[in-house]
Amino acid sequence: MISKEEMVTLFADMKANAPWDISKPLLWGYFFADADKAKLETAQTALQAKGYQIVGIYDSKPDGDSPALWWLHIEKVEKHTVDTLHARNQEFYLFAEEHQLESYDGMDVGPAS
């Protein structure tokens, strides 16, 4: 689980090093994982209804005896602070639990345009 302290570190690092203005809306990507692709397909519909863009569902291309793991990637242009991103992460952990997904795996960020 991503801690609030990790959000503080992320925002401090972005403020110091990112080539974009963190006070403006940014493109936030969020990731969910499960071995059952159909569960992610169901979840993507619910997330799309909440205004998220679906980037895709990808296979992790398993090695050897490892089972396949599917990744759902969604994104949305949003303005976040430490507190709002921490709240979003908590919301997505709950969403993953409610939809019986293996995990909410975190986020990435980039410029909105």
Residues 6+ apart with CB under 8 A from 101: 32, 33, 34, 39, 40, 43, 95
Given a contact cutoff of 8 angstroms between Cβ atoms, the answer to whether 74 and 53 are in contact is yes
Mean per-residue pLDDT for 27-48?
96
Q: Does 61 score more than 90 pLDDT?
A: no
| Identity of the residue numbered 45 | T
Is 17 inside any structural domain? no
Confidence label for 48 from pLDDT (cuts 50, 70 and 90): very high
Q: How far is CA 98 from CA 75, 93, 113, in A?
A: 20, 9, 33
Provide the domain limits for residue 8.
4-12+28-61+68-111
By the 8 A CB rule, do 69 and 33 touch? yes
The predicted-structure confidence for 66-87, as pLDDT tens digits, reads as follows 667 899 999 999 999 999 999 9
**Total domain count, the chain:** 1
Structural domain includes residue 57: yes
* Overall pTM > 0.85: yes
